[in-house]
Amino acid sequence: MTRPTRVRFAPSPTGALHIGGARTAIYNWAFARATGGTFVLRIDDTDPERSTAENTAQILRSLRWLGLDWDEGPEIGGPFGPYSQTERSDRYAAALERMKVNGSAYPCFCSAADLETKRTAARAGDGAAGYDRTCRRLDPDTVAARLQAGEPHVWRLAVPADRGDIVVDDAVRGETVFPASAMDDFVLARTDGTPTYNFATVVDDADMEITHVVRGDDHLSNTPRQILVFEALGHFVPRFAHLSMIWGADGKKLSKRHGATSVEAFRDEGFLPEALLNYLALLGWSLDGETTIVSRDVLASAFSLDRISKNPAIFDVEKLEWMNGVYIREMPPAEFAERMLPWLVEAGLTTADDFYRRPEWYMTLVPLISERLKRMTEIAPALRFLFADAIELDPAAVEKALSSDEARSALAAAGDALRELRSWDAETIQTALRDLAESLGVKPKVLFQAVRVATTGSTVSPPLFESLVLLGRDATLARIAAAL
RNA sequence: GGCGCGUUCGUCUAGCGGUUAGGACACCGCCCUCUCAAGGCGGAGAUCACGGGUUCGAAUCCCGUACGCGCUACCA
């Protein structure tokens, strides 16, 4: 009974990959990796109205961006393909055929209107819902005749009359019992012959020899129905693990109102894939209750289903930001420089050519900025003063640091002092300015802030002396003059 | 309505019969400091949803209640 682990992530391409789906993907991937199993990616595109190729492409892109690779699936194939449901209709037909033969599926000719009235009547009554099995009681001759006549019909699952309560041994929730009486003969195939979700997904999971189904909580109630189908198909029932949902900060379902929800939106908002991966992994799973920084490699070796928590989790952007900052700070400088470049280019501050023409200059800038970031989007605003020809001085900053006579005359003196320096390095600049402040009798901070506002436009900037070095003497002197 | 799931600091979580209920983010204070961060140290913050049991002993086991969520479709 010990089969090699095979898990799958089966997104529906009706939209971008959102963080809930991403977390499900991460757990599946990590579980496969940690158990030496196989991670299958399957596209559940049975909804032709809402499924698009672009959505599929974006989902694949998002998964790869997060660093998740699949062993079987779109673009790489595999022994159990095809890996999108629209290409598997013959499988569903074959499975249904088997069920017709073994008596676990039967045709139902009830109209939608009939069903509707039955449903409302049932709900008003004892609440014991579901289809009343009218067509299951039809005698075989009648069925054959109506089928022969081409009467429209769906195919329903014939829940075994002697089936006891259905127990789902969920890896996250433990044993949950669903009364057999609550199982109705649900529809497997629609009038037009297409399979319903609960049927298609089971046929696929069975065909693909999936051993563990790790998916969202919203499918827990569907699980007993699916188990019935596995049984009707004569296939082993996989182990299930149902993940709780991720909510917005207000405890409500995540939506656009909460800002970014898609993986790509988080990318665009300056989050690193390794940070998002780490954060999402810990949103519902823990390594030991203490560790917060969990790399992809650790995830891939230490992930286990039994440490998934049952509680729904609220998405906390502030913690993600903190984690993003941790990853930024821990990144090797050369790597940070490379990954910073696109953000500078996008902001129109520089070009890749310039970057590769003088990499040393960019490298010296790395430690000044990387230490104070939460998001990559903060890079361009913080460094704009180094690239722009002219800067605008923030009025509030001017008011604060340049409005007094003391500050203005000190700034003028600073300009003179800096012009005279023999060398243009941080140490020399700092010494000169400190000496100047002392001889003028002004507080160093006052002088520094005056210079900072004059040269960067703001009271907040990367370290001043290093910034001036990068700015260069000419620009520094020009800006001081302009500010006076 | 029926069935199912969930409920530990504001947030993410540890805990799996005996703990001063631990960690992280956020927050507050101090230190460091050219601003902002980062970093270091410290602090506040949880009657473990509520009510009953079981037990010498319960956040941990059982039963209810409340609240939230999911399913109950020829959606996925």
A110-137 confidence digits (pLDDT tens): 988 888 887 877 776 666 667 888 899 9
Task: Give nearest nucleotide to A216 (CA–C1').
Answer: B70
Encode pLDDT of A391-450 as tens digits: 888 888 888 888 888 888 999 999 999 999 999 999 999 999 999 999 999 999 999 999
Angle, alpha carbons A175-A179-A181 (nearest 5°) = 165
Question: What is the distance in angstroms measured between the alpha-carbon CA of A172 and the sugar C1' of B49?
Answer: 22
* Contact between A83 and A56 (Cβ < 8 Å): no
DSSP states along A398-437: HHHHTSSHHHHHHHHHHHHHHHH-SS-SHHHHHHHHHHHH
Task: Decide: CB of A27 under 7 A of nucleic strand B.
Answer: no
Task: Decide: CB of A113 under 7 A of nucleic strand B.
Answer: no
CA distances from A100 to A95, A149, A155, A224 (A): 9, 18, 9, 20
CATH 1.10.8 domain extents, chain A = 331-387
Question: What is the distance in angstroms measured between the alpha-carbon CA of A450 and the sugar C1' of B28?
Answer: 31
Of A410, A367, A358, A409, the residue nearest A387 (C-alpha)? A358
Q: Is A123 exposed, middle or buried (0-12, 13-18, 19+ CB in 10 A)?
A: exposed
Q: Which fold has domain A331-387?
A: Helicase, Ruva Protein; domain 3 (1.10.8)
DSSP states along A72-89: BBTTTB-TT---BGGG-H
Question: What is the distance in angstroms measured between the alpha-carbon CA of A215 and the sugar C1' of B37?
Answer: 40
* Contact between A451 and A434 (Cβ < 8 Å): no
pLDDT of amino acid A233: 96
Residue whose Cα is closest to the C1' of B72:
A129
Task: Decide: CB of A191 under 7 A of nucleic strand B.
Answer: yes
CA A121 and chain centroid, separation: 43
Pick the CATH number of A89-243 from 3.40.50.620, 1.10.1380.10, 3.30.70.1110, 3.20.20.70: 3.40.50.620
CATH 3.40.50.620 domain extents, chain A = 1-74+244-329, 89-243
Q: Which of A118, A252, A253, A256 is catalytic?
A: A256
Task: Give nearest nucleotide to A192 (CA–C1').
Answer: B74
Task: Decide: CB of A434 under 7 A of nucleic strand B.
Answer: no
Sheet with A38-41, strands from edge to edge, namely A38-41, A6-9, A212-216, A239-243, A166-170, A174-178
Q: In this model, does residue A14 exceed pLDDT 80?
A: yes
pTM for the complete prediction? 0.95
* Residues constituting chain A: 484
* Residues 57-96 of A with CB within 7 A of strand B: none
Q: Which two tokens stand for residue A88?
A: 């598997």
User: What gap in Å lies between CA A294 and CA A189, rounded to an integer?
Assistant: 44
Q: Report the range of poorest mean pLDDT among A45-59, A63-77, A94-108, A462-476.
A: A45-59
Q: Report the range of poorest mean pLDDT among A159-163, A212-216, A259-263, A393-397.
A: A259-263
Report the 10 Å Cβ neighbour count for A423: 8
Q: Omega before A273 cis (within 30°)? A: no
Q: Which two tokens stand for residue A360?
A: 């040393």
* Contact between A283 and A313 (Cβ < 8 Å): yes
Of A102, A78, A220, A237, the residue nearest A157 (C-alpha)? A102
Question: What is the distance in angstroms measured between the alpha-carbon CA of A382 and the sugar C1' of B75?
Answer: 47
Q: Domain spanning A1-74+244-329 has what CATH number?
A: 3.40.50.620
Task: Decide: CB of A53 under 7 A of nucleic strand B.
Answer: no
Mean pLDDT over the full length of chain A: 92
Give the confidence band of A376 by pLDDT, cuts at 50, 70, 90.
very high
Report the 10 Å Cβ neighbour count for A191: 13
Question: Any residues with CB less than 8 A from the CB of A111 and at least 6 apart, and which?
Answer: none
Question: What is the distance in angstroms measured between the alpha-carbon CA of A181 and the sugar C1' of B3?
Answer: 10
Q: Is the dihedral of CA A65, A70, A76, A81 positive or negative?
A: negative
User: What gap in Å lies between CA A407 and CA A449, rounded to an integer?
Assistant: 9
pLDDT of amino acid A253: 76
pLDDT of amino acid A126: 65
Q: pLDDT > 70: what percent of chain A? A: 98
Encode pLDDT of A232-257 as tens digits: 999 999 999 999 999 887 777 776 66
Q: According to the CATH classification, is domain A395-483 in 1.10.10.350?
A: yes
Phi, psi at A305, each rounded to 5° = -65, -30
User: What gap in Å lies between CA A248 and CA A262, rounded to an integer?
Assistant: 13
Task: Give nearest nucleotide to A119 (CA–C1').
Answer: B72
pLDDT of amino acid A1: 56
Residue with tokens 């991403």: A22
* Contact between A324 and A377 (Cβ < 8 Å): no
- Mark whether A256 is an active-site residue: yes
Q: In this model, does residue A182 exceed pLDDT 70?
A: yes
Q: Which chain B nucleotides are covered by protein, judged by CB under 7 A?
A: 1-8, 10-16, 22-26, 34-39, 68-76
